[in-house]
């Protein structure tokens, strides 16, 4: 079965995303390589930089200044053939492309795949379901198959691959960009790469309750994120949401305070090296899911912790 | 609508011989993305009073109470298709077909708002499949929706290039993600007693020109296994007589080392 990779270069986090997709392919099909890697990029410079994260030579860059899925879908649909696996990256726009292409071309699709297995000519995929409480194994019944990767998979340990210059295909920007305005440009979300993370949730009771956690994050040089309910309440920006619908972080240390540890949130911190939880409710799920837990009010404990950190840092 | 999975105890996360998890006894609630989509529709209705709102759910009878609440909040028409014994967890193709058939039956739409994914299936496919079946543009990860002018909508959404706003004409399929407006308001008692008493239209597969037996023909994947994910950690209890003592233990045993290792 031939495989085709389609990777999105519009995200500020694209280099990491491309590296994770390459690692996934190498792990799943160590003896194989994609028939073609398609890089969707805003410009040629980006394409050349991202190509250095791809271990294989057959790379084509599709250049379009402003991301618009419609012309990209039209192009991809024209190129789709019935006997292939189309593998997309782990960013949400790639998942959207995979889903739309499936709707347009038929076959099968699995979004958010964490592992692939090929047994003879049969393709199986693993992914998290039931709010990440369960892992499902699916058989792809038909080809073409459009798959996007789960967030938070391990990156390729090798980088700096050298290649001939990728083939370039330029798509003209049409009318769409006249209607599009960017309210906030993408920047690589520091939570995804943070080595230390402080997270707060509904238990904070409001934005003022999060202040103490933000202060702790600042004095540790840590990332600061929240659960979805806290962001929905307007206590923190949507870009700081951790969990299934937000960021998947993998810090060495995560401090979760005032967070119940609902599965939708925990999915975003489960790859942490060490998790410390502070919660008043001993029955909260986080009290079973963390490495160390404190049953108590974080508003009493964290100020002491901040004082200790500052004291130690002023001595060093 | 979906079961509240967060209240299911750890030991109950087991699949039976049909690869199902027993969730029928759990409280039934709005999917968080569906709730955002409904709240967004109501907000649009408040901006422009001449918009007619319809809600469609595929749910058991327990979903009907919530649909009546939608009447009380200002929806004009609510319909429920009884899913019966059908396993819709991993059937986004079938779900999309039902939604599209409902849209056709009711004479079309200007904007079709859907939540981006369910908690159980986590398929993330239904909105895209609806858009492709209906051959209309689709915007994913919608965060805000407003009337731009008489003809166009202003749609804010997250994409890889950042938070983006685009003015678009109907028809449109919008897949709602982490939205600013995320909760349905509570209806007034008066609205509950009057509007909330209206009957929810009950539909069958046959009403949409389909039969449950054809469901399998739509599937792209077959569920071959379902296993619980083990996420438990040591959960060491840190105690002390004062907050200061607790903080000292946390610092000494975990945080100091992490700070030293951080580049």
Q: Which residues contact B39 (CB under 8 A, 6 or more apart)?
A: B179, B181, B182, B183, B184, B185
* Closest C-alpha among B219, B252, B154, B232 to residue A102: B219
Average pLDDT rounded to a whole number, residues B64-70? 93
Task: Write down the pLDDT at residue B83.
Answer: 84
> In this complex, do A108 and B221 lie within 8 Å of one another by their Cβ atoms?
yes
If one compares B164 and B225, the residue with the highest pLDDT of the two is: B225
Binding-face residues of B in 190-249 toward A, CB within 8 A = 219-229, 231-239, 243-244, 246-248
Same domain flag for B146 and B212: yes
Give me the pLDDT at residue B63, please: 84
Interface contact A100-B231, CB threshold 8 A: no
The fraction of chain A above a pLDDT of 70, given in percent, is 95
Host domain of residue B239: 233-263
**What pLDDT shows up at residue A53?**
93
Out of A12-21, A41-50, B175-184, B185-194, least confident range: B175-184
The answer to whether position B57 is within a domain reads yes
Q: Do A138 and B222 touch (CB under 8 A)?
A: yes
Quick one: pLDDT at residue A38? 96
Q: Are A2-179 and A190-315 the same fold in CATH?
A: yes
Same domain flag for B81 and B183: yes
Asked if B151 and B95 sit in the same domain, the reply is: yes
List helix spans (H) across A221-297: 228-232, 263-266, 286-289
- Are B133 and B39 members of one domain? yes
pLDDT category at A206 given cuts 50, 70, 90 is confident
Mean pLDDT, rounded, of chain B: 92
CA Rg, chain A, in Å?
21
End-to-end Cα distance, chain B? 46
Please state whether the peptide bond connecting residue B171 to the residue before it is cis, i.e. omega within 30 degrees of 0. yes
Residue B227, pLDDT score: 97
In this model, does residue A1 exceed pLDDT 70?
yes
**Residue A74: is its pLDDT beyond 90?**
yes
pLDDT > 80? residue A188: no
Residue whose token pair is 């610092």? B251
The pLDDT of residue A191 is: 83
- Confirm if B55 and B78 have CB atoms less than 8 A apart: yes
Instruction: Calculate what percentage of chain B has a pLDDT beyond 90.
Output: 75
Q: Enumerate the domain spans of chain A.
A: 2-179, 190-315
Which SS3 state, helix, strand or coil, does residue B63 take?
A: helix
Measured CA to CA, the distance from residue A281 to residue A287 in angstroms comes to 8
Strand, helix or coil for residue A151: coil
Domain A2-179: CATH superfamily is HUPs (3.40.50.620)
Task: Inform me whether the pLDDT recorded for A189 exceeds 70.
Answer: no
* pLDDT tens digits, one per residue of A60-71: 999 998 888 889
Q: If you measure CA to CA, which chain B residue comes closest to A134?
A: B228
pLDDT band at A18 (very low <50, low <70, confident <90, very high): very high
Mean pLDDT, rounded, of chain A: 91
Q: Which residues of A touch B148 (CB under 8 A)?
A: none
What confidence tier does B196 reach under pLDDT thresholds 50, 70, 90?
confident
- Asked whether residue B13 carries a pLDDT value surpassing 90, the answer given is yes
Q: Are B208 and B239 in a shared domain?
A: no
| Same domain as B78, residue B152 | yes
Test the A interface: residue of B91, B141, B180, B221 with most A CBs within 10 Å: B221
Tokens linked to B191 = 């609205």
Q: Left if phi > 0, otherwise alpha if psi is -120 to 50, otherwise beta: which for A243?
A: left
Q: Are strands A253-257 and B28-29 parallel, antiparallel or unpaired?
A: unpaired
Please report the pLDDT score of residue B26 as a whole number.
92
Rounded Cα distance, A203 and A195, in Å: 24
The CATH number of the domain holding residue B159 is: 3.40.50.620
Reported as a single tens digit per residue, the pLDDT across B235-259 is: 999 999 999 999 999 999 999 999 9
What's chain B's Rg over C-alpha atoms? 22
Whether B224 is in a domain gets the answer no
Same domain (yes/no): B144, B101: yes
A225-239, A275-289, B211-225: least confident range: A225-239
d(CA B243, CA B263): 29
| Average pLDDT for A65-91 | 92
The beta-carbon neighbor of A308 closest among B5, B96, B248 is: B248
Tell me the C-alpha distance between A100 and A94, whole Å. 10
pLDDT of A85 higher than 90: yes
Tell me whether B164 touches chain A (CB under 8 Å).
yes
Q: Is A133 on the interface with B (CB under 8 A)?
A: yes
Q: Are A289 and A265 in contact (CB under 8 A)?
A: no
Residues B212 and B244 in one domain: no
CA distance B90 to chain A (A): 9
A145 in Cβ contact with A110 (< 8 Å): yes
Each residue's pLDDT tens digit, A118-153 = 998 899 999 999 999 999 999 999 999 999 999 989
Give the residue carrying structure tokens 């890089």. A39
Same domain, B165 and B214: yes
Please count the structural domains in chain B: 2
pTM for this predicted structure:
0.91
Chain A residue numbers with beta carbons less than 8 Å from the beta carbon of B89 are 129
Residues B137 and B254 in one domain: no
Q: How far apart are CA A212 and CA B36, in angstroms?
A: 29
The verdict on residue B60 lying in a domain is yes
On whether residue B223 sits in a domain, the answer given is no
Which residue matches tokens 């791809």? A54
Contact A276 B15 (CB under 8 A): no
Q: What's the confidence (pLDDT) of residue A22?
A: 96
B220 and A102: CB-CB below 8 Å? yes
Q: Which CATH number fits domain A190-315: 3.30.70.3040, 3.40.50.150, 3.40.50.1220, 2.30.29.30?
A: 3.40.50.1220
pLDDT digits (tens, 9 = 90+) for A251-310: 999 999 999 999 889 999 999 999 999 999 999 999 999 999 999 999 999 999 999 999
Contact at CB, B251 and A291, closer than 8 angstroms: no
Closest-CA residue in chain A for B11? A133
CA distance A110 to A31: 23
Which pLDDT does position A46 carry in this prediction? Answer: 94
- pLDDT at A315 (0 to 100): 62
Phi/psi for A224 (5° steps) reads -130, 125
Instruction: Summarize the confidence of residues A245-256 as an average pLDDT.
Output: 92
pLDDT digits (tens, 9 = 90+) for B86-116: 899 999 999 999 999 999 999 989 999 999 9
Taking alpha carbons only, the member of A86, A92, A194 closest to residue A146 is: A86
């Amino acid at each position: 079965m031939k495989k085709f990779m389609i990777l999105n270069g519009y995200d500020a986090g694209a280099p990491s995303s491309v590296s994770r997709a390459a690692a996934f392919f190498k792990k799943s099909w160590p003896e194989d390589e994609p028939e073609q890697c398609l890089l969707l990029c805003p410009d040629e410079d980006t394409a050349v930089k991202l190509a250095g994260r791809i271990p294989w030579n057959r790379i084509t860059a599709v250049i379009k200044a402003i991301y618009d899925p419609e012309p990209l879908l039209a192009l991809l649909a024209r190129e789709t053939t019935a006997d292939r696996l189309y593998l997309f990256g782990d960013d949400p726009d790639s998942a959207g492309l995979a889903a739309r292409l499936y709707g347009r071309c038929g076959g099968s699709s699995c979004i958010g795949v964490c592992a692939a297995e090929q047994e003879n000519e049969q393709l199986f995929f693993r992914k998290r379901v039931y709010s990440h409480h369960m892992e499902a194994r699916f058989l792809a019944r038909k080809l073409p198959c459009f798959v996007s990767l789960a967030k938070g998979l391990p990156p390729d340990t090798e980088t700096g691959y050298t290649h001939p210059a990728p083939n370039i295909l330029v798509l003209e920007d049409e009318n769409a960009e006249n209607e599009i305005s960017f309210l906030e440009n993408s920047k690589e979300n520091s939570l995804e790469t943070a080595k230390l993370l402080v997270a707060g949730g509904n238990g904070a009771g409001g934005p003022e309750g999060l202040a103490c956690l933000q202060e702790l994050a600042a004095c540790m040089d840590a990332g600061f994120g929240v659960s979805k309910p806290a962001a929905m309440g307007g206590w923190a920006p949507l870009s700081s949401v951790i969990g299934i619908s937000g960021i998947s972080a993998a810090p060495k240390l995560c401090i979760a305070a005032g967070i119940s540890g609902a599965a939708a949130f925990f999915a975003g911190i489960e790859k942490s090296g060490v998790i410390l939880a502070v919660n008043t409710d001993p029955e909260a799920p986080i009290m079973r899911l963390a490495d160390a837990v404190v049953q108590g009010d974080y508003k009493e404990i964290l100020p002491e912790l901040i004082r200790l950190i500052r004291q130690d840092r002023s001595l060093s | 609508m979906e079961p509240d999975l967060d209240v299911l105890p750890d030991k109950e996360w087991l699949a039976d011989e049909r690869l199902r998890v027993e969730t029928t006894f759990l409280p039934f609630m709005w999917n968080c993305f569906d709730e955002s989509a409904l709240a967004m529709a109501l907000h649009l209705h408040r901006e422009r009073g001449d918009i007619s709102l319809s809600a469609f759910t595929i749910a058991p009878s327990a979903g009907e109470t919530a649909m009546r609440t939608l009447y009380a909040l200002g929806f004009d028409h609510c319909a429920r298709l009884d899913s019966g014994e059908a396993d819709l967890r991993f059937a986004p193709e079938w779900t999309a077909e039902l939604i599209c058939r409902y849209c056709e039956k009711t004479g079309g739409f200007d904007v079709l708002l859907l939540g981006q994914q369910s908690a159980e299936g986590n398929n993330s496919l239904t909105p895209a499949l609806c858009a492709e079946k209906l051959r209309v543009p689709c915007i994913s990860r919608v965060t805000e929706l407003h009337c731009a002018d008489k003809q166009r909508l202003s749609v804010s959404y997250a994409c890889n290039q950042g938070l983006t706003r685009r003015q678009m004409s109907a028809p449109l399929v919008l897949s709602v993600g982490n939205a600013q407006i995320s909760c349905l308001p509570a209806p007034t008692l008066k609205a509950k007693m009057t509007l909330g008493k209206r009957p929810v239209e009950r539909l069958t597969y046959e009403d949409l020109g389909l039969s449950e037996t054809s469901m399998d023909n739509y599937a792209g994947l077959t569920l071959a296994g379902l296993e619980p994910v083990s996420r438990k950690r040591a959960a060491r209890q840190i105690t002390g007589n004062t907050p200061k003592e607790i903080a000292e233990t946390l610092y000494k045993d975990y945080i100091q080392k992490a700070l030293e290792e951080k580049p």
